[in-house]
Chain A
């Protein structure tokens, strides 16, 4: 499912790690680590982006690949946190 949240996250990754605005370069389900788009340092930067852009604090126990390894997973994580806020 695509929405503005997905697009915002994808746009950040496209601009900062793939240096393109071609949305077809990154599917929502693509593994960011598996495709070699980010390493663990890049993942820390994405977590910082999520915290600042969506005004939330990621807890240590939430720092798992299941929450951050694709645009879709990040969007679902953000939605879940916004629902529980």
Chain B
């Protein structure tokens, strides 16, 4: 069931529905960011944490477009499991834009707060031999095949041997809670710099991530303004090309950069690669049938129906992430 007001489905569904006038979008975002800073946030610049991925890179470039290079502060916040290439791309982006920036290694903070210890303790309940030289990641399973979403833990021994096992709820929750320290510590650092500079913090989710709850509450989900949350990921790539960002950023494959084994966003969270997920989400939002989506993606109608069901399941599961703290009684005297 699509919500009231759902647009009429197009006669032909293909990637062209996601095409944008990139110049017009940049103009609009630039104007809105200025308005929001001046009228809603009363801050005089923007802090952007730069991961080296496409979303934060485009956000940083849009921030420069909106308020100028002197009023954007970039942060590169690697930790023990970050890929070296990510920091290198982030530094390249900051230098390309010409913004002030700094690299701050959050690994000692994460070590002190217990991020790695809590994570590894949960992993050892599944794989008792797991040690400091091992690598790990979590892989989603089920939703794309019409089953209940659940997670597999994948570990790699120092010799290269891979093992995999289904995660029970307590271990899954503990691993995710521990790794979420990474996003939450990063946000703490971002707000330190925002406060000292009287700047606002930029959140960098694209529409797919925002809609499907692919963020950590009070971590990367926390921000003062989210300039690309209305744009599908394919459209963010189009902006990156339009803004002439460095080629290795425009061509970067989306990863979580959170686990020690390389992990694509699609294997961690989304049912399909982002190009297909973008189209599936667009199609779902515009009332397209599973048959239309199946034809557009070259998949079976049954799988297309599973993808729609998975989109709805993730919206339900992550509704809590979007909620503000709930008050027991309204406070009408506060105009927020």
Binding site for B on A (CB under 8 A): 33, 36, 39-41, 43-45, 47-48, 51, 60-61, 63-65, 68
B251 to chain A, nearest CB (A): 33
Are B149's CB and A40's CB within 8 A?
Answer: yes
Contact A40 B169 (CB under 8 A): no
Tell me which residues across on chain B come within 8 A of A39, comparing CB atoms: 313, 316-317, 319-320
Instruction: Given A63-B147, A65-B148, check contact A48 B316 (CB 8 Å).
Output: no
Cα(A48)–Cα(B125), bound, Å: 15
Report B's interface with A, CB cutoff 8 A.
Answer: 141-142, 146-150, 166, 168-170, 172-173, 313-314, 316-317, 319-320
B315 to chain A: closest residue by CB? A39
Given contacts A40-B317, A63-B147, contact A48 B168 (CB under 8 A): yes
When distances are taken between beta carbons in the complex, the residues of chain A under 8 Å from B170 are 48
Main secondary structure, interface of A, reads helix
**Distance A64 CA – B149 CA, assembled complex (angstroms):** 9
In contact, A60 and B173 (Cβ under 8 angstroms): no
Point out the residue from A33, A44, A61 that lies within 8 Å of B169, measured CB to CB. A44
Cα distance, A61 to B166, chains bound together (Å): 12
* Closest A residue, CB atoms, query B149: A40
**Which residues of the partner chain A approach B313 to less than 8 Å between Cβ atoms?**
33, 39-40
Taking a contact as CB atoms under 8 Å apart, the answer to whether A64 and B150 are in contact is no
A64, B147: Cβ atoms closer than 8 Å = yes
Residues from chain B with Cβ under 8 Å of A51 in the complex: 168
A64 to B309, CA, bound (A): 13
Instruction: Judge whether B317 and A64 touch: CB under 8 Å.
Output: no
Q: How far is the CB of A13 from chain B (nearest CB, A)?
A: 14
**Contact at B317–A45, with CB atoms within 8 Å?**
no
CB of B24 to closest CB in A, whole Å = 38
Chain B residues near A60 (CB-CB < 8 A): 141-142, 147, 150, 166
Among B169, B170, B313, B319, residue most surrounded by chain A Cβ atoms (within 10 Å): B169
Task: Choose one: B146, B168, B173, B320; the contact of A64 (CB below 8 Å).
Answer: B146
